[in-house]
Structure 1
Amino acid sequence: MSPQGQRDAPDSAYSWLRLALSLLLGTIACVGTWSVVVVLPAVQAEFGTLRAGASLPYTCVMLGFGFGNIVMGRIADRYGIVVPIVSGAVLLGTGYVLAGLSSTLWHFALAHGLLIGIGGGAGFAPLIADLSHWFRRHRGLAVVFGASGSYLAGVIWPQVITWGLQSHGWRATHIGIGVVALAVMLPLALFFRRRPAAETLAAAEISSAGARGDLGLSPNRLQGLLALAGFCCCVAMAMPQVHIVAYCGDLGYGVARGAEMLSLMLFLGIISRIGSGFVADRIGGAATLALGSLMQGLALFLYLWFDGLRSLYIVTGIFGLFQGGIVPMYAVIIRDYLPPREAGMRIGIVMSATIAGMAFGGYVSGLIFDVFASYRMAFLNGLAWNLINLAIVGWLMLKAKPKLQAASNTAF
């Protein structure tokens, strides 16, 4: 094999460098899904709205993020990953500046939905799909590392934004985030100009077609099941992730404590995601997904019984460890069974379903709080959705376990 061929081969040193830079890129691009969580109380006070109204920008940014994953994934399939990265940088930079200058809640929400959310989509599903082409033996691990950018953003950005709120206010903080996104993402885009070799894609096409035939589900049927499961699990996931800061404020612990818990949740979620990659390469994506769903439900149940400051830190840490590896498993299953040349769009569709679940879950949890003046019913609502997810993925695990296990050992 020529030196160029060795560099383009799966699992090469270049592949690992590409993975590291993808993680950095995802950390910057996914800021929008976390910044709005931290500023929720400040936005509620600024625009004089109820908790459900203050949750609207989060719903908008998640819907835009879901749409951006599909559109940016399709563009990446056709033109390569550079175009989505550049487009995402411009949309994020513009969106954050306009959000910082917004005069009404609707202006703030639309900037998040139409610009920040769509731009952030470039840093999730398209990057995951792109990385899946550059790894063979360690694909599960690569996928979860790529997906960890969104969680690493949740570890770093809440602390940065909390400092910005205290030092400069939420408006100046948003403008600063936009400048950072442009300054980091545009230069990084140049590194991603190389595309996977045609031979690699052809071999992957043969492998996924064979695995799909063994599974006994059509591509659209499998994708539909995964989309439904992803929506349900993320409705459940949204309750702690979106409202933990406000929840701590309501309990009298302060917004800063809530931001610390959010960072702890996401930091441990990264550990969970990385661990799930190792597990998926051994027992298969479906079994790993079912295990994560079961553990997430257990953590939600614990929130019903413990609301002391120390116990909330512990339960939040448990939640982070349990749920972090769930979402990347959908991408692992898609990459094993669905056409690799459509990976960006197909992963984007399922990721958008998970994001829609987060958007719906975040909003409905705020609505339930407004009705009951308590988050207890919101936690019960999340637990119910989690049980639906567990039923779907449990069925898929029983049907697919031997096939996915084989695929993880031989996939291209």
Structure 2
Amino acid sequence: MQQSTLSDTFAQDGTYAWFRLAVSILLSTLGGAGMWAVVIVLPAVQTGFGIDRADASLPYTATMVGFGVGNYLLGRVVDRFGIVPPLIASAVFLGIGFALAAMARDIFLFSLAQGVFIGLGTAATFGPLLADISHWFLKRRGLAVGCAACGNYLAGVLWPSFIQWHLQFADWRETYLLIGGICLVTMVPLALILRRPPPEAFLSASSGSSAFGTQTTSLSPAALQMLLMIAGVACCVAMAMPQVHIVAYCVDLGYGVAPGADMVAVMTGAGVISRLSSGYIADKIGGVKTLLIGSVLQCASLFLFIPFNGLTSLYLVSLIFGLSQGGIVPSYAVIVREYLPAREAGQRVGLVIMATIFGMALGGWMSGWIYDLTGSYNAAFLNGIAWNVLNMAIAVFVLMSGRTGTQATLRR
């Protein structure tokens, strides 16, 4: 009886799995400092280095590149060695990165520290953590992945407030040193809590159909992976239009910077609700259908931005947009676990997450480029809608391929 109880405790969806999820959310919130700190200190960095706004934006671009590449590279490490080594490396990289950035004497060195150390360090606390936690849940996998993904948004709520408060007493260099110290001191012991490997029974199959998830498809793993990556780029090109340009859009409309910043906060806060609800829905209907629902809702909300440009209307549409888009990215992790080999979850989730990040970068640039050509954001919104339609089409195709695969299995 005692042995059975112990086994149940560490089984999928068991007590330990929920405890592990709580630790993962905390780690993701701490490690997420790397994505938000550079945004908050940007004006101070620009002033300190005596550079223009374009050059001051380079560190953020470098961070996102490191973050995207790191999701794939560290995902491969997770598949081979588990989540603990990447998380410890993340803590060390963040500690070193923030320290080097604080000591940087020019924007090039600052950008290098942001991209190589902080970007890579932050990456371990997103895609790799989602892949790891997916092994510990079966009935509630979608909800668990959605909860773990919320850590990234929670970081966007907590870290900017902390940084703004600390900047009242110290300069940005001292603030960076403090952030690096906090990450190093807190993340290493938290990472060691996650030393227990995933349930062996769940990962025991190394080949054949049993090594895959619960869903069947007529697509090869390589084809499905490529489609998910294209879908990831497409949905995030669309997603980037409001998230990256809403502040500039508000300025163009004469509302100023503050309302735009508030709308970003509204999108992020609503995104947390979206990720939790989408995870719950994914457990009921599957990852592909959840992705399709989120994509359709995001497309509809993008349409709403065009005619409704009053201040109150924009707040409301931003709320609708946040509730629509927040669950899209975590849905890809659920799809990977449903259709692709469990032992390759880290690198496969990392590849899709990397594609979504590159989609955000492409979408942010493309929307600005279209604005420069047309003098209006309406065409940029329409461009986002077109990319969103591509994402919806891929989701429908994967869903139909799954049905074809099931029918072929039944015939055999």
User: Do 1:23 and 1:148's aligned partners in 2 also have CA atoms closer than 8 Å?
Assistant: yes
Partner of 2:264: 262
| Cα separation, partners in 2 of 1:296 and 1:70, compared to 1, 3 Å | same
| Cα separation, partners in 2 of 1:249 and 1:185, compared to 1, 3 Å | farther
Distance 1:371 1:98 in 2: 39
The partner residue of 1:107 within 101, 106, 109 is 109
Partner of 2:279: 277
Deviation at 1:94, TM superposition (A): 1.8
Distance 1:293 1:12 in 2: 32
Distance 2:16 2:397 in 1: 38
Partner of 1:179: 181
User: Do 2:218 and 2:401's aligned partners in 1 also have CA atoms closer than 8 Å?
Assistant: no
| Identical counterparts, % of pairs | 54
Distance 1:254 1:350 in 2: 36
Flag structure 2 segments of 5+ consecutive residues without an equivalent.
407-412
Deviation at 1:164, TM superposition (A): 4.3
Partner of 1:199: 201
Distance 1:13 1:178 in 2: 32
Deviation at 1:130, TM superposition (A): 0.9
User: Do 2:239 and 2:384's aligned partners in 1 also have CA atoms closer than 8 Å?
Assistant: yes
Partner of 1:360: 362
Distance 1:46 1:381 in 2: 37
Distance 1:373 1:168 in 2: 40
Partner of 1:220: 222
- AA paired with 1:268? A
Deviation at 1:218, TM superposition (A): 0.8
The partner residue of 1:379 within 371, 378, 381 is 381
Deviation at 1:246, TM superposition (A): 4.8
Aligned residues: 403
Partner of 1:322: 324
Summarize the alignment of residues 3-402 of structure 1 with structure 2, pairs less than 5 Å apart.
3-40=5-42, 43=45, 53-165=55-167, 168-202=170-204, 206-207=209-210, 209=212, 211=214, 214-248=216-250, 253=255, 255-369=257-371, 375-400=377-402
Cα displacement string for residues 86-137 of structure 1 (whole angstroms, at most 9, x for unaligned residues):
1001111222233333333333322221111110111011111111111111
| Cα separation, partners in 2 of 1:122 and 1:131, compared to 1, 3 Å | same
Distance 2:368 2:388 in 1: 18
Partner of 2:409: none
| Cα separation, partners in 2 of 1:169 and 1:362, compared to 1, 3 Å | farther
- AA paired with 1:94? I
Q: Secondary structure at the match of 1:6?
A: helix
- AA paired with 2:264? L
Name which of structure 1's ranges 197-206 and 310-319 shifts more when overlaid on structure 2.
Answer: 197-206
- AA paired with 1:221? A
Structure number with higher helix proportion: 1
Cα displacement string for residues 256-305 of structure 1 (whole angstroms, at most 9, x for unaligned residues):
54443322211111111111111111222111101111111222222233
Q: TM-score, normalised by structure 2?
A: 0.88
User: Do 2:288 and 2:398's aligned partners in 1 also have CA atoms closer than 8 Å?
Assistant: yes
Distance 1:93 1:316 in 2: 35
Distance 2:367 2:203 in 1: 43
Name which of structure 1's ranges 57-66 and 96-105 shifts more when overlaid on structure 2.
Answer: 96-105
Partner of 1:408: none
| Cα separation, partners in 2 of 1:344 and 1:365, compared to 1, 3 Å | same
Q: TM-score, normalised by structure 1?
A: 0.88
Distance 2:94 2:220 in 1: 37
User: Do 1:55 and 1:363's aligned partners in 2 also have CA atoms closer than 8 Å?
Assistant: no
- AA paired with 1:397? L
| Cα separation, partners in 2 of 1:28 and 1:370, compared to 1, 3 Å | farther
| Cα separation, partners in 2 of 1:366 and 1:398, compared to 1, 3 Å | same
User: Do 1:35 and 1:158's aligned partners in 2 also have CA atoms closer than 8 Å?
Assistant: yes
- AA paired with 2:298? Q
Distance 1:283 1:223 in 2: 21
Distance 1:306 1:196 in 2: 49
Cα displacement string for residues 137-185 of structure 1 (whole angstroms, at most 9, x for unaligned residues):
1111111111111122222223333444565454443333222222221
Deviation at 1:249, TM superposition (A): 5.4
Flag structure 1 segments of 5+ consecutive residues without an equivalent.
405-412
- AA paired with 2:138? R
Cα displacement string for residues 211-244 of structure 1 (whole angstroms, at most 9, x for unaligned residues):
56x3111111101100110011112212222333
- AA paired with 2:243? Q
| Cα separation, partners in 2 of 1:383 and 1:170, compared to 1, 3 Å | farther
Aligned-residue CA RMSD (Å): 2.7
- AA paired with 1:106? F
